């Protein structure tokens, strides 16, 4: 009970602080972000990779669209918040079935909140920019060949949303000729909003961010939403090789994991597969503008044109060195594993923190102290031995 109370107080404190601070919006008159210049010069000098502004992309128009992306995120919030931690009946949960997808993606939940948020955003886009294309998870694609295309995922992490876990996010991307040039990750419960804008340093609530990762895989903290998103065979074998190469694999954060990497909050790598275009386009400018590297498993750029080639396989790393090492594993053709992950193995234990993360742990020996769960490995080891 003491731990639960402490967690509750800490979360409440964080929420109150974010509400008090509010958001720093882009000033449409000059494109600047209030409070965003304090660390900008230092971060720009240290960035390993930055989103590149296409030569024929109007910078002023880009800033205008970035401000509009904030308006879209605000509109989505208004639709999502009334459904937060409501009953299944109120949420109107349904199961969306898709063929030829992974175990995880073949039957995914959708709620009234998902649909209402996407409708609200699409209506604003149609009203403001009727010539723009829209690529949404819930209502499909229109004008995909337009120069400017908005890619929308109203709730990335619906499973977290319907179980009351604040690790979902609204993803809003704007593509110029197929390349993501604007990305917003919005977490409406924790009042956190990340912005990635081509050619500029990414921000969290208006403050510049920078990745802060380790440089070797064996030191790295890696996230994936679930082992079930990897197809059995080569995909799962490569994931298993990554799982054994890193220090600790974590699960269950969806888009929030990418935001953690971009912000330098302790996560170093995200490896995922079978993602839709709407699952990753917004992440690209945020990661790149923070100094991170993001591509498919073969190092190919993540764009609208490359989606079919990439097959929804995404690798995001805090820096280029980690990215290169991970690609050595993920890009190998026909990787065979004698110790591939068996998700039905009863010896694998999933320990899920109610607030921050979940960690897939094969044995007590893999346990390490981690602040997010407010649990120390040696204590858990004693508990596990006591219960066996």
Element (H, E) at 315: strand 314-317
Residues 102 and 273: beta-carbon distance below 8 Å: yes
Q: Is 50 exceeded by the pLDDT of residue 81?
A: yes
In the 8-state DSSP scheme, what is residue 375?
B
The token duo for 118 is 């996407």
In total, the chain counts a number of residues equal to 388
**At 1, is the pLDDT very low, low, confident or very high (cuts 50, 70, 90)?**
very low
Residues 227 and 251: beta-carbon distance below 8 Å: yes
The CA-based angle 74-79-83, given to 5 degrees, is: 130
185 to each of 55, 119, 208, 213, 300, how far by Cα in Å?
26, 18, 15, 20, 22
Q: What is the pLDDT of residue 16?
A: 36
**At 372, is the pLDDT very low, low, confident or very high (cuts 50, 70, 90)?**
very low
Outline where DSSP puts E strands in 75-229: 94-97, 107-110, 133-136, 140-142, 148-156, 169-176, 179-187, 192-197, 203-204, 207-208, 221-224
Number of H helices, E strands in the chain: 14, 17
Instruction: Please give the mean pLDDT across all residues of the chain.
Output: 79
Instruction: Please report the domains of the chain, with CATH numbers, ordered by start residue.
Output: 24-208 (3.30.540.10), 217-387 (3.40.190.80)
Phi, psi angle pair for 318, to nearest 5°: -70, -20
Query: Mean pLDDT across the stretch 374-386?
Result: 34
Query: pLDDT by residue (tens digit) across 277-311?
Result: 999 999 999 999 999 999 999 999 999 999 999 99
**At 47, is the pLDDT very low, low, confident or very high (cuts 50, 70, 90)?**
very low
Residues at the binding site are 137, 153, 155-156, 279
Q: What is the pLDDT of residue 103?
A: 55
Q: Are strands 248-251 and 221-224 parallel, antiparallel or unpaired?
A: parallel
- What sign results for the dihedral spanned by CA atoms 346, 351, 352, 357? negative
Please tell me which residue, 262 or 358, carries the higher pLDDT value: 262
Query: pLDDT by residue (tens digit) across 171-185?
Result: 999 999 999 999 999
Q: Are strands 358-361 and 349-352 parallel, antiparallel or unpaired?
A: antiparallel
Distance CA 66, CA 62 (A): 6
User: For residue 135, what are the β-bridge partners?
Assistant: 141, 151
Query: Mean pLDDT across the stretch 112-120?
Result: 98
Distance CA 173, CA 368 (A): 36
Contacts of 179 (CB under 8 A, 6+ apart): 54, 301, 303, 304
Q: What is the pLDDT of residue 54?
A: 73
Query: Mean pLDDT across the stretch 323-351?
Result: 63
For the CA atoms of 361, 366, 369, 375, the dihedral, rounded to the nearest 10 degrees, stands at 40
Distance CA 284, CA 182 (A): 8
Q: What single string gives the DSSP state of each residue in 98-116?
A: -TT--HHHHEEEE-HHHHH
Please tell me which residue, 266 or 22, carries the higher pLDDT value: 266
Query: pLDDT by residue (tens digit) across 135-157?
Result: 999 999 999 999 999 999 999 99
Q: Is 50 exceeded by the pLDDT of residue 362?
A: no
Query: pLDDT by residue (tens digit) across 200-246?
Result: 999 999 999 999 989 999 999 999 999 999 999 999 999 999 999 99
Phi, psi angle pair for 129, to nearest 5°: -130, 75
Residues at the binding site for Mg(2+) are 137, 153, 155-156, 279
Please tell me which residue, 104 or 90, carries the higher pLDDT value: 90
Reduced to 3 states (helix: H, G, I; strand: E, B; else coil), residue 348 is coil
Residue 5: other Cβ atoms inside 10 A: 9
Q: Is 60 exceeded by the pLDDT of residue 21?
A: no
The token duo for 117 is 């948020």
The token duo for 37 is 């210049």
**At 106, is the pLDDT very low, low, confident or very high (cuts 50, 70, 90)?**
low
Q: What is the pLDDT of residue 96?
A: 78
Q: Is 90 exceeded by the pLDDT of residue 374?
A: no
Contacts of 211 (CB under 8 A, 6+ apart): 261, 262, 263, 264, 287, 290, 291, 292, 318, 319
Query: Minimal CA–CA distance to 281: which of 301, 256, 309, 252?
Result: 301
């Amino acid at each position: 009970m003491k731990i639960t109370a402490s967690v509750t107080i800490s979360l409440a404190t964080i929420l109150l602080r974010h509400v008090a601070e509010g958001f720093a919006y882009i000033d449409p008159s000059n494109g600047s972000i209030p409070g965003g210049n304090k660390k900008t010069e230092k971060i720009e000098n240290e960035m390993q990779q930055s989103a590149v502004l296409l030569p024929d992309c109007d910078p002023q128009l880009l800033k205008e669209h970035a401000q509009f992306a904030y308006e879209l995120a605000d509109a989505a919030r208004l639709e999502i918040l009334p459904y937060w931690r409501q009953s299944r009946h109120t949420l109107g949960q349904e199961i969306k079935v898709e063929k030829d997808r992974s175990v995880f993606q073949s039957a995914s939940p959708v709620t009234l909140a998902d649909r209402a948020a996407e409708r609200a955003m699409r209506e604003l886009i149609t009203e403001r920019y009727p010539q723009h294309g829209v690529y949404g998870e819930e209502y499909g694609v229109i004008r995909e060949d337009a120069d400017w295309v908005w890619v929308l995922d109203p709730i990335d992490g619906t499973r977290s949303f319907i179980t009351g876990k604040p690790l979902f996010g609204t993803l809003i991307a704007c593509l110029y000729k197929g390349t993501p040039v604007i990305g917003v990750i919005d977490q409406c419960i924790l009042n956190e909003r990340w912005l990635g804008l081509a050619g500029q340093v990414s921000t969290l609530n208006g403050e510049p961010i920078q990745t802060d990762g380790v440089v070797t895989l064996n030191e790295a903290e890696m996230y994936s939403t679930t082992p079930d998103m990897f197809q059995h065979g080569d995909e799962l074998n490569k994931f298993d090789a990554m799982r054994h190469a890193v220090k600790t694999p974590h699960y269950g954060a969806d888009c929030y994991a990418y935001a953690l990497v971009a912000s330098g909050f302790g996560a170093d790598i995200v490896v995922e597969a079978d993602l839709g275009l709407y699952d990753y386009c917004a992440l690209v400018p945020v990661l790149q503008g923070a100094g991170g590297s993001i591509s498919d498993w073969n190092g190919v750029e993540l764009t609208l044109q490359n989606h079919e080639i990439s097959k929804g396989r995404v690798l995001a790393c805090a820096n280029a060195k980690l990215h290169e090492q991970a690609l050595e594993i993920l890009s190998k053709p026909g990787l065979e594993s004698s110790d591939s992950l068996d998700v039905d193995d009863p010896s694998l234990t999933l320990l899920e923190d109610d607030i921050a993360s979940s960690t897939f742990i094969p044995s007590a020996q893999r346990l390490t102290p981690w602040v997010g769960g407010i649990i120390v490995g040696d204590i858990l080891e004693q508990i596990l031995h006591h219960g066996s």
